[in-house]
Amino acid sequence: MSVRTSGPSRSTTKPRPIQGTGGRTAAIFLVPFFTVFLVAMIAPVVYAVGLSLFAEQRSGLGFGGAETVFVGLGNYVDVLQNDTFIAGFARLALYCVLYVPTLLGVALGFALLLDAVVAKARRAFQLLLFLPHAVPGVIAALIWAYLYTPGVSPIVSALASGGIQIDFLSVHLVLPSMVNIAVWEWAGYNVIILFTALQSVPREVLEAARVDGAGEIRTAFSIKTPLIAPALGVALLFTVIGSLQLFTEPKILSTATTAVTSTWVPNMWAYDAAFNRNNLPQAAAASIILALLAGLLSWVVTRFTSKGNSR
Amino acid sequence: MNLRRTSFAAAALLSAGVLLAGCAASAAPESDKPTAAENPTGEITFWSSLSGMADVAAAFNASQDDITVTFEEIPNAANGGYTKLSAAIESGTGPDVAGIEYVSLPGFAASEQVVPIDDLVSEDVLGEYSEQVRELVTFGGATYGMPYDAPPQIMWYRQDVLDAAGVEVPTTWEEFEDAARAVKAANPSAYLTSFFMNEPQLAPLSWQAGSKWFSIEDEKWKVAIDDKASTKVADYWQKLIDEDLVKAQLGFSDEWTADLNSGVVNGWVGGSWSASGLKTRTEASGQAGKWIAAVPPSWGDEPTGALSGGTSFAITENSENQAAAAKFLEYLTTNPAAVEARGDVGTAYLAFPGLNEVASKVAPTDYFANDIYEVFDEASSHVVGGWSWGPDYDITNTAMRDAVTTAPTLGDALEQTQSATVDGLDQLGLDVSE
């Protein structure tokens, strides 16, 4: 971890004067970003927070019209007391435990292999690995749902004729099946991140390792992997946040199996609250809870990985 | 993770846009109170997920010059049709007329997304409907939709499979169980029918057994989803599932279709609407003339029945030409020409008296080995009155789907659904009792 690379050294280029029109130039670059950010991110969040503090109250038998009343944190209390919402987090946690190590392991393995092969083959493998990521998530989930469904899937029937009876969509296997879809979808993307980091590992360090008698495998795990720890951290961060937003795969699979309910993960719970039960305030409260958790987790992950770096 | 984040942000933006637009729409001045004009004119829009409705709209346009209907097909409920409809109405871009199933109509009525039609359609017309059907569209003393169909719950069987197993069409649930056993004995890989885990037919089955999930008592909603009759039904089906006599699976899935075609599943606890779906699904494997319709088996000596699904047509709060919309609504639900125009794409059992004669002529009835409309008539005459879908069935629907999957038995699922429904209605501020 003590190896530090000095990038293109600053001292050779002339330092630019930091004065005069700097503020205005910065503004020109920043205003478009912040405008979009304000409209697309901040405004909806503020609106959702506002929405989550109110509730539609009907009275009597429910057909005399509804009035909107301020309930404070009432929606949050209701949501957090909801068993199915909480059960969604338990499933999500299990998913993360399975998915995050699998994805990063697979991606790291491929990246190291890519780094080891001759330059010509690299391009082709890189493209092949990235190809699944070019398939939109919904389409990928649909294709996999087809491949998992007994009675229509060629894979299931091939396995069955080989004497292996397996139901990928059963209660116990549906989670691993879902992890498989996500890994297929996202491995290539993470391979690119890790592979790019591997490219910047200084060659003299690798040569030194070789001179010291380390083989390819030893080099890969003892030299290269520690050196790309920051990139692994970034991949971990993206993966964890992405897992929290798990929606597409279970949503699609819920149409193919009973093992996935319409409120299977917190995001689906929020979707169901908003669009099936027409309870926008509860959906907003659920989304805010989810967003807070994502914020907290990414803080933990960045904290953890940057600490590892400075050591 | 870019894609996910972008789509998440996009969804957030989109929903925010919809919400903001919704606010703007509700802030806009309400359109003038509708007057039942004698000859309304203008253009109206019409959304439905029912197949063949484009032809009905076209036939209506051709039949007169005053009103022009523009039809748009929307996805069905399972594919987000009501999500779209609800969002569109909230943002002020909804249609004038929309098809809404009986189970979902109370939710639309309670949020005032659809308007009462008592001033728009004459009582002479509304009075023609049977009492049970009218109850399904009447909330708080106002009529919120025109009933389109009143599909009775119907059992569908493969006659040849029953014959091979040496059993008659079951008339009681006891006989039904025996028949399931016989089919299994004749062919170990075959099932008499499936139990849909995603669309559990527990509501019509409980209705048929004499339960009333929602009723009004002392100005309060009495919720009785886990009452005695319903629990009896749930336990019965749980037993069939446990003994592997029926196949628990996803209805309307690829797997189910494959099972129908390969003879693994030989029956369907469906409704009168099942006929056209059954035909399209099984036609390719040469099952023409093998299917029969039958009235549901009974629990006691007297045959009882229930409705299974069914759609009404309603006028949304977005409609600026309610008089024209009402005129089209009447054509759609009461005119024989509308039934004829829809043709053989659906096997609707219509709610308005006299229309089923026309329907039985245009429907693909010759695919079946018996006179299915005669069976529909009989099943329809047994329907137990007094059923209501309550003030907001969406809560129950979501809870039931979750419960059926997660609870150890169907009986437990009913209990879970009961408590989730009571909690949900309570949170809405309604007066509920158990």
Q: Which of A80, A258, A301 to mutate to probe the B interface, most B CBs <10 Å?
A: A258
Instruction: State how far residue A208 is from chain B, nearest Cα, in angstroms.
Output: 36
Under DSSP, the state recorded for B224 is: -
CB A140 within 8 Å of CB A160:
no
Residue B62 domain flag: yes
Hey, which of A209-223, A270-284, B279-293 has the most confident mean pLDDT? Answer: B279-293
Query: Which residues in chain A are contacts of B202 at CB distance < 8 A?
Result: none
Same structural domain, B291 and B424: yes
For B422, the 3-state DSSP assignment is helix
Residue B346 domain flag: yes
Averaged pLDDT, A14-35: 76
Interchain CB contact of A262 with B (< 8 Å) = yes
pLDDT > 90 fraction of chain B, expressed in percent and rounded: 72
Residue B380 exposure: Cα atoms within 13 Å on the Cβ side: 22
pLDDT digits 0-9 by tens, B147-206: 999 999 999 999 999 999 999 999 999 999 999 999 999 999 999 999 998 888 899 999
Q: Report pLDDT for B18.
A: 41
* Closest CB from A41, A241, A272 relative to B1: A241
Residue B378 domain flag: no
Confidence class of residue A9 from pLDDT cuts 50, 70 and 90?
very low
Q: Report pLDDT for B25.
A: 39
Confidence class of residue A310 from pLDDT cuts 50, 70 and 90?
very low
The domain that holds B237 is classified in CATH as 3.40.190.10
pLDDT > 70 fraction of chain B, expressed in percent and rounded: 91
Interchain CB contact of A150 with B (< 8 Å) = yes
Whether the full predicted model's pTM is greater than 0.95, yes or no, is: no
Same structural domain, B236 and B326: no
- Say yes or no to pLDDT of B257 above 90: yes
Tokens 């050196």 found at: A227
Q: Report pLDDT for B11.
A: 44
* Closest CB from A47, A64, A78 relative to B140: A64
pLDDT digits 0-9 by tens, A71-94: 999 999 999 999 889 999 999 999
Same structural domain, B320 and B214: no
Cα B22–Cα B23–Cα B24 angle in degrees, nearest 5: 90
Same structural domain, B345 and B256: no
Residue B369 domain flag: no
User: What are the structural domains of chain A?
Assistant: 75-310 (1.10.3720.10)
Same structural domain, B218 and B192: yes
The token pair that represents B68 in the structure block = 């022009």
Confidence class of residue A16 from pLDDT cuts 50, 70 and 90?
low
Number of domains in chain B: 2
Same structural domain, B344 and B418: no
Same structural domain, B226 and B114: no
Confidence class of residue A19 from pLDDT cuts 50, 70 and 90?
low
Same structural domain, B188 and B112: no
Q: Residue B348 sits in which domain range?
A: 13-148+309-353
Contact A151 B254 (CB under 8 A): yes
Q: Report pLDDT for A152.
A: 84
Q: In Å, what is the CA distance from B217 to each residue of A254, B211, B220?
A: 37, 15, 5
Residue B367 domain flag: no
Residue B137 domain flag: yes
Instruction: State how far residue B99 is from chain A, nearest Cα, in angstroms.
Output: 16
Q: Which of B33-47, B88-102, B305-319 has the lowest mean pLDDT?
A: B33-47
Reported ipTM: the value is 0.71
Which residues, at least 6 apart from B75, have a Cβ–Cβ distance to it below 8 Å? B49, B81, B84
Q: Report pLDDT for B27.
A: 39
Same structural domain, B181 and B229: yes
Residue B143 domain flag: yes
Same structural domain, B242 and B282: yes
Same structural domain, B175 and B235: yes
Residue B381 domain flag: no
Q: Report pLDDT for B10.
A: 43
Same structural domain, B186 and B221: yes
Instruction: State how far residue B262 is from chain A, nearest Cα, in angstroms.
Output: 10
Contacts 24+ apart (CB under 8 A), B408-416: B409/B234, B409/B235, B409/B238, B410/B200, B410/B202, B410/B234, B410/B235, B410/B237, B410/B238, B410/B241, B411/B226, B411/B231, B411/B234, B411/B235, B411/B238, B413/B200, B413/B234, B414/B202, B414/B225, B414/B226, B414/B230, B414/B231, B414/B234, B415/B226
- Say yes or no to pLDDT of B8 above 90: no
- Say yes or no to pLDDT of B216 above 50: yes
